[in-house]
Amino acid sequence: MTSTATLSSKYQISVPKLIRDELHWEAGQEFVFIPKGKGVLLMPVPELAQLVGLAKGANTENFRDRQDRY
């Protein structure tokens, strides 16, 4: 699944259709750019509903409160 795109004069990149379809990306979806060495990682920002239950079963003992921080 490799495709290329060109940076426009307005600094925009169109995500190739093959990639959009494979990853189920939709118009209007929000993304975050994470610098990685000489490149960048592009990740969709999850919706709140997708995060529900993410920490289920997490160990809550010895957690640090804001007052415990430097």
Q: What is the 3-state secondary structure (H, E, C) of the chain?
A: CCCCCCCCCCCCCCCCHHHHHHHCCCCCCCEEEEEECCEEEEEECCCHHHHCCCCCCCCCCCCCCHHHCC
Task: Give residue 70's pLDDT.
Answer: 65
Q: Is residue 2, in this structure, part of any structural domain at all?
A: no
pLDDT, residue 13, reads: 93
2-50: per-residue pLDDT in tens?
Answer: 789 999 999 999 999 999 999 999 999 999 999 999 999 999 998 888 8
Containing domain of residue 32, as a range?
Answer: 13-47
Is residue 28 included in any domain, yes or no? yes
In a domain, 22, yes or no: yes
Output the pTM of the full model.
0.63
Residue-wise pLDDT tens digits, 55-68:
888 887 877 777 76
